[in-house]
A and B are shown apart, each in its own frame.
Chain A
Amino acid sequence: MSSLVKPDRRILDAETPSMHPLERRGFLKGALSLGALSLLTGCDLTDNEPAQRLLWNMSWWNDRVQAWLFNPNRLAPTYPESAVDRVFRYNAFYPEDEAPKLDPATYKLELSGSIGDKRPWTVDQLYQLPRTSQITRHVCVEGWSVIGKWSGCPLRNFLERIEADITKKYIGFICADGYYTSVDMPTALHPQTIMAFTFADQILPRKFGYPMKIRIPTKLGFKNPKFVIALSVTDAYPGGFWEDYGYNWYSGS
């Protein structure tokens, strides 16, 4: 995948979700007109608009179908230690040495949206949360997969601690590298959805998202954000980095 870092505008958006009641279809129109504007030199795009609209609508339909297929009690298959891949693939929209280097002294996990206790969390506070571990398969939208071991706090547990309104539709995540994504509430509450603090029994390495990534074995890899610095609970569709470029939003496994 190529490199294009989105501006941090999205962070602001997520901090004030009520001001941006972005609905998916509304976004679609925006994307189409933005796309058309960005290609004034060629007519290919405008020619393709009906096709693009159809594909976006089918993707939206697939979101619905996948949400319906999702069984909140079905666990992703787990594997023995011997099945863990020794070389875990690095993957991002930039090279490994450009991964953010977050300082535990200044790091804060910011909370926004429908949350009772919005005080930010430090690394120390996060790392004191109760942990579970899992050995699960990470499946990339490109097709490849790797089995890894993560441990951390179940997101459900954290959401209860911060008094999040779990009747809201979405959890949005903002990352230190400009990445952002979001998941549906049922997935956020799934027992295997965790805030991962370790990988392969070590503190989460920088390239895999230090100090915290969201590990969701019921979703494709790009729905597992690294370097998470902000979390919001909202009814306003937060989208995502690749999702806004046309990758299926739900992307469940």
Chain B
Amino acid sequence: MVPTGQTTELPNRIILLHPALVRITHWLNALAIFIMIGSGWRIYNWDPLFGFQFPVWVTFGGWPEVSQHWHNEEGLAGALQWHFAAMWLLFVNLLVYFAYGLASGHFRRAFLPVWPREIARDLGAALSGRLAHRVGERNAVQKVLYIGVLTVIVLTVLSGLSIWKPVQFQDLTGLFGGYDFARYVHFFCMTVIIVFLAVHLTLTALVPKVLPPMITGRAESDTGQDEGARP
């Protein structure tokens, strides 16, 4: 496979593992998702779909006492403000990332091909602790996880849009089963993202050497290939 323009061979087999745009959008996305989930939990608490609420300290949107002064209530307004501000960060950042991923060939190189046979093989290896980690390569399980979480983030945005605008986007709201059901879809998508994050962060903790390249972009190559593995 011939790497494209952003590949820069550096001395000592140091390669550019993650292009700058991928790194920037990754961390902006992390920030946006953090704010969206935290403020989303606060909003959830005002009308819980299930028989539980999130503890206030894990939610986002300003301290309740401070909120009394700003908003005359315990923190819904702040959470809504953050949610509907950070949604723009999430949305614009996703657009940039998708445009780049499609135009540069990053998606093709990073996520494709992915076949059921490889997925089954790598999943088996991963579960039995035999899956080798090679810089510059993603295994099939990683590919599935990334494709999956990106799809779920898009579904979260769309179901959120259908809750925000059930009149203007009533066809979209209909696709998600109507206003009330769309709230469950939105919540379920958030839950899937949380599960992904748990796996993502656990794997990073298990293979900590993958973290610095996500910041600097550089890694020591053991295959010589550009744009490689990460948890």
Q: Give residues in A with beta carbon < 8 Å to B.
A: 1-2, 4, 35, 38-39, 42, 44-45, 48, 52, 54-56, 58-59, 61-62, 69-71, 74, 76-77, 137, 139-145, 217-218, 242, 245-248, 252-253
Contact = CB atoms under 8 A, between A and B. Distances in A.
Tell me the dominant secondary structure on chain B's binding face: helix
Interface string B72-90: 1110111011101100100
B85 A54 contact: yes
Given A144-B47, A245-B77, A253-B165, A35 B84 contact: no
A218 B167 contact: yes
Contacts of A218: 167-168
A236 B183 CA distance: 36
A39 B69 contact: yes
Contacts of A245: 70-73, 77
A70 B70 contact: no
B81 A77 contact: no
B166 A253 contact: yes
A48 B66 contact: yes
B43 interface: yes
B180 A145 contact: yes
A225 B31 CA distance: 37
Given A35-B70, A39-B69, A247 B80 contact: yes
Interface of B: 43-44, 46-47, 62-63, 66, 68-74, 76-78, 80-82, 84-85, 88, 165-168, 170, 179-180, 183
A76 B167 contact: yes
Contact of B69 (A38, A61, A141, A217): A38
Instruction: Across the A-B interface, give the 7 residue pairs with the lowest CB-CB distance, nearest first.
Output: A58-B85, A143-B47, A55-B81, A246-B77, A142-B46, A253-B167, A245-B71
Nearest to A59: B81
Given A58-B84, A139-B166, A245-B73, 12 more contacts: A1-B73, A2-B74, A54-B85, A55-B78, A55-B81, A58-B81, A74-B168, A137-B166, A242-B72, A246-B71, A246-B81, A253-B167
Contacts of B69: 35, 38-39, 45
A139 B72 contact: no
Contact of B70 (A52, A71, A253): A52
A103 to B, nearest CB: 30
Contacts of A62: 84
A251 to B, nearest CB: 10
Given A55-B82, A69-B168, A252-B168, A246 B70 contact: yes
Nearest to A55: B81
